[in-house]
Amino acid sequence: MMHVILQIRESTNFVFLAFTEAMSFIPGSSFWSFIFFLMSLALGLSTMIGIMQGIITPLQDVFSSFKKYTKSFTVGVFMLMFLCGLFFTRPSGIYYIILLNDHWTVLPIIIIIIFENLAVSWPSNARR
C-alpha cells in the first residue's frame, strides 16, 4: 500500500489524493469536496481564458485583419488548441506530459530569456 501512495505522490494526482484523505476527517466533507472541485474548475477556466487572451490579443495587434473577425478567429484558435490537446489524451499522453515537464521546458525558457534581453537592449541601442 505504501508503494502505491509513494507512486501517486510523484504524479500530478497527488493533490486529489491528499485532499481526499484530509476531507475524510472533517465533518461536512461532501460540501467541502464540492467547493474544492468547483474551485478547481474555476481555476482551470480562468487560466484557459488568460492563455487565450495572451494568444489572441498579440495576434490581433500584429495582423489587423484578425480584428474584423474576432469571434471566428477566437473559435479557430480554440479549435486548434483543442486538437493539439487531444494528443495528450491518448494512452501515451502521460509520457509526453512527463517529457514536457522534465525536459522540453528548458529550451523555451532559454529562448524567452534571449528574446527578453534583445527586447531590452534593442531600444537602448546597446552594443556588444
What pLDDT sits at residue 76?
93
pTM of this structure:
0.57
What pLDDT sits at residue 1?
47
Q: Does the annotation flag 17 for ligand binding? A: no
What pLDDT sits at residue 5?
52
Compute the Cα dihedral for 74, 80, 86, 88 and give only its sign: negative
pLDDT at 2 over 60: no
pLDDT digits (tens, 9 = 90+) for 16-45: 777 777 777 888 888 888 888 898 899 989
SS3 3: helix
Q: What average pLDDT score do residues 95-108 get?
A: 82
pLDDT at 102 over 90: no
pLDDT digits (tens, 9 = 90+) for 48-88: 899 899 989 988 988 888 888 989 999 999 999 899 889 88
For the stretch 92-99, contacts whose Cβ atoms lie closer than 8 Å and that sit 24 or more positions apart, written own/partner, are 97/12
